[in-house]
Structure 1
């Protein structure tokens, strides 16, 4: 029979993804007693089904592409015998598992009480949790006696000597002294009438775990997730069709980014169809059959072994019983803060982080880290600057990659800013020629003023965006950047050249 335990904490965090566990870690570091409730595994979608496993797979794809480049471009007579899917998956899973253990260890070391179960609000200061169990992997118990501090390690019942303490699943109620943080994340959206089966029709959450490598893939959705999966499957030899309803792929990025990325994907043999819509799709025994309305108004039949649906993500609030605490969602299902500077809802003491937030939040793991730290510091009574979403970098890990920070040219002009724009192809510098993937650097600056946005397309630009993040975040002007010397020959040299030209000191760029 389940037992009921009433417990209190300074902070209760519901959801153990990037936003939730970053809140918990920072709050604990500030001396607060923290309970973190998670019904699955700490780390959330990013660690277990998204960012980390997908980037591991994309690294494998880079290695495959490198073999082809070595043979076709550099005269290195290398061939690819086959891809050992089981070995590839094992390496991916090992990376995920080691990261998972690392997060668990951080939480345990910080004294965060991790509680396994499903949580719902029972008021503005109380949370009800069902299905709680001990997490022996943390090395301490997940449940503590009423009033126990986070540093305590005493389980509810003392075990016999030499026996690992265990606690039976039960029903538990928690109260908070400072606040509740909602961090329950998101799930993949799908389309009406289309039911993914995890094998022939898959979402972005289960695409990596579908069996084997398909010979052909229809990717529905040309945002960052869809583009990355299209890129991965093409590297692995699949015929790929990429469908995007907007008039260009990665439609939230600068138009020149979309143009250069489209060019790069098409060069690799990916059939990119922007301004296109899926009319219907039928899941067959050995694949899918779909009808697509192209941007030219033509109806086209597409058959593929797998349909990958990547049309965005929806916030998860089911079961939270927001109404019990006096909260509601907007028409899209987001929990909207009343105070964006504190990420606090209309109910004082209840904060929200991560994918539950509407734009301008970005639904990115690294933005969630910043949000979690902000909320933790707020709950600790410390001053903390609001998250500057314009200064948060955005990356697509396809081949070629894209990376950007700040405003696009269109956004800057729409805000009435008089702008100066300079664009330079990466192939205009020697290292860009070495890579041979094309790409560009684009800088949008206010005339006579600071840099408003930087946009990159090309190899390894995910590792180049940090400099531009600082440039935009610190309101630097082109002349401020131009005085700093960039190493030669590097891809980042092109970034320096663009700023030199904007500062009136152009060297190689005329």
Structure 2
């Protein structure tokens, strides 16, 4: 075993975000000595500048929206104001409690946290502020940053999600550049706070990586909420002055607002970290690995947002666990990217796992795919919640289910069952036998599978 009092470890993890700290925790649990290098705070983007704070703000927004819409439920409420200082205090409190818990967990597993900017200086060595940490195994997990577009400077009234999470006031209006997950979530939150929101998306649909049926339903829902959007035309430029921002598109259209939020995705944080100098294979800043997350150099692995694919915290968690078990010789099963669930935490929520209808037809052939949609209008709990949407199932004809896609309030809480169905390659007939509690939204999955199995209850066949 390595000497934990010195600088030699079984595993040195560079980056303390979701993927990195998961690798560190699992490796320590398996009896390895671990150093975890982090320049900022352990927990990374997800805990401090991503998943957790955005969902806290979305919850505050949901309460505000609920107050405005309460009359339809026979409750008369008046929304006095949005207190952003209070919203931020609530958000920061959530982050603080989770951060404290994570620190305690890391300490209890005797992981040495090394604070500072780490750099790979040899295939088995990370240098942090002059201190060299050698590891029998190295795990790269340096995460991602909020990207911009070439020539688009961040500053003043042009912000990224990092600044948007700490606004001290509710803007009167905002333009959001990018209609993917991040842009759509901020649009939902800000609209709930009463902001006049416009989304600019260069692709033909909002949430463009989702099944097209979900994207179209999502656009209808946003239109109904009064969230404006312009699709299929690229951003050309922006100017800003004391009155706000002035955005121009390539077709000449212009939009004005108080702020411009740039939400065009996240780039890998790999610059000047010594990766290329040590021969780690790279492509446009991403670290390339094989299916077992090995880089092909020494005993260097990579996890999380720096590895091409879905940039999701739960993917990072799973990859971190996988790499620790791989190092320990447990030969864990390879992570199937299409089997990772995806959720947009907006109003309505979008949740999916597996292949879209288009991807399934491309993979198996148009005639070899069967699709079914179950409308939430037939679901009692959805009627109680006054939400609209549907569950869409994609299966190989006479074969297993390969995709589960949902839109509606709170459907993100249902995707766990969808993940089990897809990853266990279940047949509709298998799922149709399972009993779903009534009245729940979860029951919508059961109803959809009854229909797909040819024995619908509250749905038309």
* TM-score, normalised via structure 1 length: 0.87
C-alpha separation between the residues in 2 aligned to 1:345 and 1:185?
Answer: 16
For residues 275 and 6 of structure 2, the distance between their equivalents in structure 1, rounded to whole angstroms, comes to 21
| Aligned-partner Cα distance in 1 for 2:339–2:281 | 29
The whole-number CA distance in structure 1 between the counterparts of 2:229 and 2:428 is 35
Q: Point out where structure 1 has 5 or more consecutive residues left out of the alignment.
A: 131-170
Cα separation, 2, equivalents of 1:299 and 1:432: 42
Alignment of structure 1 residues 414-425 onto 2, 5 Å: 414-417=362-365, 418-425=368-375
CA contact (8 A) 1:6 1:172 kept: no
Q: Secondary structure at the match of 2:7?
A: strand
2: distance between equivalents of 1:493 and 1:380? 41
RMSD, matched Cα? 1.3
Matched residue, 1:176: 135
Aligned to 2:359: 411
Q: Which runs of 5+ in 2 are unaligned?
A: none
SS at match of 2:170: coil
Distance in structure 2 (CA, Å) of the matches to 1:343 and 1:57: 34
The aligned counterpart of 2:272 is 319
Q: For residues 355 and 18 of structure 1, do their structure 2 counterparts lie closer, same or farther at Cα, with a shift above 3 Å needed? A: same
Aligned pair 1:399/2:347, yes or no? yes
**What are the within-5 Å matches in structure 2 for residues 49-60 of structure 1?**
49-60=49-60
Aligned match of 1:380: 328
Residue 128 of structure 2 corresponds to residue 126 of structure 1: no
- Are the equivalent residues in 2 in contact too, given 1:49–1:206 (CA < 8 A)? no
Q: For the residues of structure 2 that align with 1:374 and 1:343, how far apart are their CA atoms? A: 9
The correspondence of residues 65-76 of structure 1 with structure 2, limited to 5 A, is 65-71=65-71, 73-76=72-75
Q: Which residue does the alignment assign to 1:464?
A: 414
- Partner deviation per Cα, 1:153-200 (whole Å, 9 max, x = no partner): xxxxxxxxxxxxxxxxxx2011112x1000000101101222111x51
Residues 83-119 of structure 1 deviation map (CA, whole Å, 9 limit, x = unaligned): 1111111111011111111111111000000001111
Residue 33 of structure 2 corresponds to 33
Question: In structure 1, which of residues 294, 298, 303 is the aligned counterpart of residue 256 of structure 2?
Answer: 303
Kept in 1: contact 2:84–2:167 (CA 8 A) = no
Partners of 1:440 and 1:292 lie apart in 2 by 34
> Contact conserved, 1:202 with 1:210, CA < 8 A, in 2?
no
What are the within-5 Å matches in structure 2 for residues 243-258 of structure 1?
243-258=200-215
Alpha-carbon distance, 1:25 to partner: 0.3
Aligned mate of 1:508, from 454, 458, 461: 458
Residues 321-375 of structure 1: per-residue CA shift (max 9 Å, x gap): 1133222311x211000x21x200020300000011012xx11000100000000
* Structure 1 ranges of 4+ moved more than 4 A: none
Pairing 1:328–2:268 present: no
| Deviations, residues 189-221 of structure 1 (Å, cap 9, x unaligned) | 101222111x51111222111331101010000
User: C-alpha offsets along residues 366-416 of structure 1, whole Å, 9 cap, x if unaligned?
Assistant: 010000000001111212111121111100000000000000000000012
* 1:147-166 map, 5 Å: none
CA contact (8 A) 1:280 1:291 kept: yes
In structure 2, the CA distance between the partners of 1:191 and 1:113, relative to structure 1 (3 Å rule), is same
Q: CA deviation at 1:435?
A: 2.1
Q: Give yes or no for the alignment of 1:24 onto 2:24.
A: yes
Deviation at 1:36, TM superposition (A): 0.4
Of residues 187, 193, 206, the one that matches 2:151 is: 193
Count of residue pairs the alignment pairs up: 454
Quick one: distance in 2 between partners of 1:285 and 1:192? 24
In the alignment, the residues of structure 2 paired with residue 429 and residue 51 of structure 1 have an alpha-carbon distance, to the nearest angstrom, of 29
Aligned match of 1:219: 176
Partner-residue secondary structure (3-state), 2:67: helix
Q: CA deviation at 1:62?
A: 0.9
What secondary structure is seen at the aligned counterpart in 1 of 2:165? helix
- Contact 2:16/2:141 (CA < 8 Å) preserved in 1? yes
How far, CA to CA, are the matches of 2:380 and 2:237 in structure 1? 47
Contact 1:6 1:173 in 2 (8 A): no
Q: In the alignment, what sits opposite 1:291? A: 248
Partner of 2:402: 452
Structure 1 counterpart SS, 2:199: strand
1:414-450 superposed Cα distances (whole Å, 9 cap, x missing partner): 0124111000221122222222231111000111110
The CA deviation at 1:314 is 0.5
Contact 2:247 2:254 in 1 (8 A): yes
- Which residue pairs with 2:47 in the alignment? 47
